[in-house]
Amino acid sequence: MPRIKLQRFQDNATRPDIIEPGKPEYEQLGGRWRTDFFQEPHPLTLEVGCGKGEYTVGLAQRHPSRNFLGLDIKGERIWRGSTRAAELGLTNVGFVRMRAEALAAQFGAHELAEIWITFPDPRPRDRDIKRRLTSPRFLALYEQLLTPGGLLHLKTDNEGLFEYTLETLAARPGARIERFTRDLYAETGAEFTEAQAIQTNFEGKYRAVGVPIKYVQFRLT
């Protein structure tokens, strides 16, 4: 393992804003994130698959009266998000290292106010449908963790995943699409401002070569 990566893993083990396997708080904060981790009763937003934490940190900057968590399985990515949050002096943001499949072990029922899914792996092969972060399997998990009527957002460059998500939501009883667009940055309405406000490095590269960004906001109940 490269020395710099090893050092970052060691940093993660000492950072209070990172929860990961091996720490006593891991899988012990379900239902108590706002009181025990943030020590503030603000609404809690989760980004699933946060990568380097650009979106999680950006949301925390925009909304200082809310709490934000970024979830990813890659420790080095989370290190970058944690480092950026510290540079900005943010106290309303944290990170969790785990797989999305295990969300129920980390969060209590109806603990989340909002979920963002930003540029996930589209899992284009049919055999990987269940691993798509907007598959019925994951939607059922999100519904369990969200407050009734809680918001979900998907941003993606992948047309196949976007159309699959719209079809899956249309077939799901109780699901309601609030708004969607196949070209987010062509929209001028105020209802798309929040989704346009933060642009990751990954997102910028796709826009630079003319790939439109797709976006959908929805509720499950």
Q: Give catalytic residue positions.
A: 121
Show binding-site residues for S-adenosyl-L-methionine: 47, 72, 121
Show binding-site residues for substrate: 157, 200-203
Contacting residues for 5 by C-beta, under 8 A, at least 6 apart = 76
Tokens of 67: 């709490």
The answer to whether 30 and 112 have CB atoms below 8 angstroms apart is no
The answer to whether 79 and 7 have CB atoms below 8 angstroms apart is no
In the chain, alpha helices (H): 3-14, 54-62, 75-87, 103-106, 136-145, 159-170, 193-197, 201-208
**What is the enclosing helix (H) or strand (E) of 118?**
strand 112-118
The answer to whether 177 and 94 have CB atoms below 8 angstroms apart is no
How far CA 194 is from CA of 15, 48, 63, 89, 135, in Å, comes to 30, 17, 11, 22, 24
